[in-house]
Amino acid sequence: MSVTSRKPVHLALYDTFADWETGHTTAWLARVGYEVRTVAPSAVPVTSIGGLRVQSDLTLDELRPEDSSLLVLPGADLWDTSDDLAPFARTARAFLDAGVPVGAICGATAGLAREGLLDDRAHTSAASEYLAATGYGGGGRYVEADAVTDGDLITAGPTEPVAFAREIFGRLGDVFEGKKLDAWFRLFHDSDPAAYEALNS
């Protein structure tokens, strides 16, 4: 796929979003030529859990799966304290129904669990107990792993932004090839200096 033919990647943003969880993903996707566009509930700026105030590129009601390569949902306090972010989970369902990948990390996995999107897909999160508290029906599909890909759905817990990015890169298939993806992960996850040469060779 050429750079010019790639559709944008969409990063969901909402108040209290965890700004550290998607940095590896968006930075490297941008570096290889993806346009990263941000999506918020409305045109009002949102504030991250780290105090970053962000004006989004578009609103959620303007987002369509057919215009996107990927939807990324970061964690946020709001996933667990209100139903405000339920529309993002419903949008994730529309993306998956359309065959467009969705990546969810940390609290976003609970939002997808409440939407029923984890009932029939292998997945992970912060802990199995965390998702069980949502009352979802997918406990038997929970995997104790850093990050999990099942078809078009990628999930990860809050301490695994690098593994989350690796799974997204692997699913998209045009970010790093073969051994370079492994080298990228070893460099940024394991601090393996030998991986630097492999990544840049």
Domains and CATH numbers, the chain: 3-176 (3.40.50.880)
The pTM of the full predicted model, rounded to 2 decimals, is: 0.95
The answer to whether the CB of 70 falls within 8 A of the CB of 103 is: yes
Give the CA distances from residue 86 to residues 21, 56, 93, 185, in Å, rounded to whole numbers and listed in that order.
20, 18, 11, 32
Give phi and psi for 134, each to the nearest 5: -80, -15
57, 197 Cβ separation under 8 angstroms: no
Joined tokens for residue 157: 């817990």
Dihedral of CA atoms 27, 185, 188, 108 in degrees, nearest 10, equals 60
Q: How confident is the chain (201 residues) per 10-residue block, as mean pLDDT? A: 75 97 97 97 97 97 98 97 97 98 98 98 97 97 98 97 98 91 95 92 81
3-state secondary structure of 197: helix
